[in-house]
Amino acid sequence: MTTEAQILEAARRLNKVTFKTPHSPHRGVSELAAGFSPSETVSLESLICSIRDRDTRSSQGKISILESAKEIVRQLESPDGRAMELLMSFSIVPTLKIAMDMGVFKMLAIRSRITASEIAHQAKAEEEFVVRIMRVLVSIGVVTILSVRTYGSTRLSDFFTVPANAAGICVVNDQALRAVSRFSEYAAAHSYHNPTNTLTGPFQFALNTFESWFSWLSTRPHEAANFNLFMTGFRNSKPAWPMQFPAESIIFSGIPSSQDSSVTVVDVGGGFGHDLSLFAEKSTRKPGRLVCQDQESVIATVPSELAAGIEFVAHDFFREQPVRGARAYLLKHICHDWPHALALSILKNIKVAMEPGYSKILIMDLVMPEGKVPLAAASLDVAMMTGFSGAEREEKLWMELVDDAGLSVRKIWKGQDGDGLLEVVLEEDKDDITTKPRLTIAG
Ligand SMILES: C[S@@+](CC[C@H](N)C(=O)[O-])C[C@H]1O[C@@H](n2cnc3c(N)ncnc32)[C@H](O)[C@@H]1O
């Protein structure tokens, strides 16, 4: 039984829910499932009932329970209580950063329970200060409190011991929060229009600079190391991209394995090559040549343990793509960093290198649903706007972008939580793509 059917069934039993159109009782429930609020609120009782019979083991069952549980919480909490909680959430990221810097998450991973005085001793901190920081972490469920001033680990505190996730705290605390710090002032001064210039956006306004975030990073090794490390594990709560999308069939379909020596994938702006490593790891056949391109400053710091099997090349994606006729050019979390005109330039610079009838561009980014999206996705869009004058795009904006580049979207693959993969081909290849492998690396 589907989620909608379960909610509806529970509603019928309780006879508590009336939907706007009496002749189409599914209406309110399907609006909810599509990310739109039903015209009339689904009652608390029916929401609670609807959870009862759901499968607690399947991921779909868990997602639907979580959605209903969130709606139950929303109905139970008072607006003033919730408003206060929202306003006071300013403390969360700095508190996480301080706890991480004091080594709390690592201590908890080793000991699983630890007292404030032990934390204070190990971190050379004042115990009363530790207690105040831990209070916030307990309230948001990052750690538990087992008895007075004694704390326990959770799955979240363990999560923040993973270096890429810890780097995420640093990037948000030291970089994204700074970029957003004068956002409302910036927005008012720009009459509430989307920023379109990467050198005069909210980031530059807040930091009093004319440097782009990426150029700012290129001269700050500590911040850059955190940024690049965060990217290697970004969203690692989700399945790896070659599992979320049928990467192998999109890339290999129709290519005989004898052509394994040609360039299969060029990861444009690929950071440390982590997405190519995942592709090679999940691939059931030899992946062929994999090329990772990024800025010189990033390529120079690729950790050697990540470099196996990948060719790393410094390349500015605002210049013509030197690898001609690769099967796939991957743009993962690239276009969202740039406003339309610059995202267009990135696409056009790849287009000239594409082999008609063979090459594809794989754009991986959020495809923003038009209804309700999770806070993480909505906030990521704000991070793109404030940090880079970029944007998370809805389907129609993606179509416009690809169309303006003189390319065609062959298919949009939908993944988890709004993740999307756009399979983009040359205009003339829209309906059919044959396999005519070529390999050249110019320059
Ligand atoms: C948001 S990160 C995405 C990294 C990776 N594709 C991923 O999904 O994890 C954007 C990447 O673009 C790179 N980048 C920024 N400007 C660039 C440029 N002009 N040429 C090449 N790479 C660039 C950054 O160094 C960074 O690695």
pLDDT mean over 16-29: 38
Q: Tell which of 229, 249, 273 closes a domain.
A: 229
Parent domain of 437:
234-441
Report if residue 257 sits inside a domain.
yes
- Of all protein residues, whose CA lies closest to atom 27 belonging to ligand 1? 271
Q: Are 116 and 131 in contact (CB under 8 A)?
A: yes
Domains in the chain, number = 4
Domain match, 223 and 243 both: no
Domain match, 431 and 414 both: yes
- 91 has pLDDT over 80: yes
Report if residue 169 sits inside a domain.
no
Q: If you measure from the C-alpha of residue 47 to the centroid of ligand 1, how many angstroms do you get, rounded to a whole number?
A: 43
Domain match, 324 and 408 both: yes
Out of 5-14, 156-165, 355-364, least confident range = 5-14
CATH of the domain at 122: 1.10.10.10
Domain match, 339 and 401 both: yes
Report if residue 10 sits inside a domain.
yes
Domain match, 241 and 310 both: yes
Domain match, 105 and 251 both: no
Domain match, 225 and 265 both: no
Could you tell me the pLDDT band of residue 76, with boundaries at 50, 70 and 90? very high
336 has catalytic annotation? yes
Q: If you measure from the C-alpha of residue 127 to the centroid of ligand 1, how many angstroms do you get, rounded to a whole number?
A: 42
- Of all protein residues, whose CA lies closest to atom 11 belonging to ligand 1? 269
- 437 has pLDDT over 60: no
Domain match, 400 and 265 both: yes
Q: How far is CA 116 from CA 112, 147, 151, in A?
A: 13, 11, 8
Report if residue 434 sits inside a domain.
yes
- 164 has pLDDT over 50: yes
Q: Are 6 and 53 in contact (CB under 8 A)?
A: yes
- 159 has pLDDT over 90: yes
Q: Tell which of 229, 250, 269 closes a domain.
A: 229
d(CA 198, CA 213): 9
For 424, list phi and psi in degrees, rounded to 5. -115, 135
Atom of ligand 1 nearest to the CA of 330: 6
Report if residue 84 sits inside a domain.
no
Domain match, 96 and 9 both: no
Could you tell me the pLDDT band of residue 261, with boundaries at 50, 70 and 90? confident
The contacts of residue 119 (CB under 8 Å, 6+ apart) are 102, 103, 104, 107, 125, 127, 130, 134, 151
Report if residue 17 sits inside a domain.
yes
Report if residue 168 sits inside a domain.
no
ipTM above 0.95, yes or no: yes
Report if residue 83 sits inside a domain.
no
Domain match, 279 and 184 both: no
Domain match, 23 and 146 both: no
Atom of ligand 1 nearest to the CA of 271: 27
d(CA 364, CA 245): 10
Q: Tell which of 27, 50, 76 closes a domain.
A: 76
Atom of ligand 1 nearest to the CA of 228: 27
Atom of ligand 1 nearest to the CA of 336: 1
278-334 pLDDT, tens digit each: 999 999 888 889 999 999 999 999 988 877 899 999 999 999 999 999 999 999 999
CATH of the domain at 420: 3.40.50.150
- Of all protein residues, whose CA lies closest to atom 13 belonging to ligand 1? 269
Could you tell me the pLDDT band of residue 390, with boundaries at 50, 70 and 90? very high
Q: If you measure from the C-alpha of residue 440 to the centroid of ligand 1, how many angstroms do you get, rounded to a whole number?
A: 23
Catalytic residue, from 274, 315, 333, 336: name it: 336
Q: If you measure from the C-alpha of residue 269 to the centroid of ligand 1, how many angstroms do you get, rounded to a whole number?
A: 4
Domain match, 222 and 245 both: no
SS (H, E, C) 75-94: HHCCHHHHHHHHHHHHHHHH
Mean pLDDT rounded to a whole number for the chain? 88
pLDDT mean over 18-41: 53
Could you tell me the pLDDT band of residue 21, with boundaries at 50, 70 and 90? very low
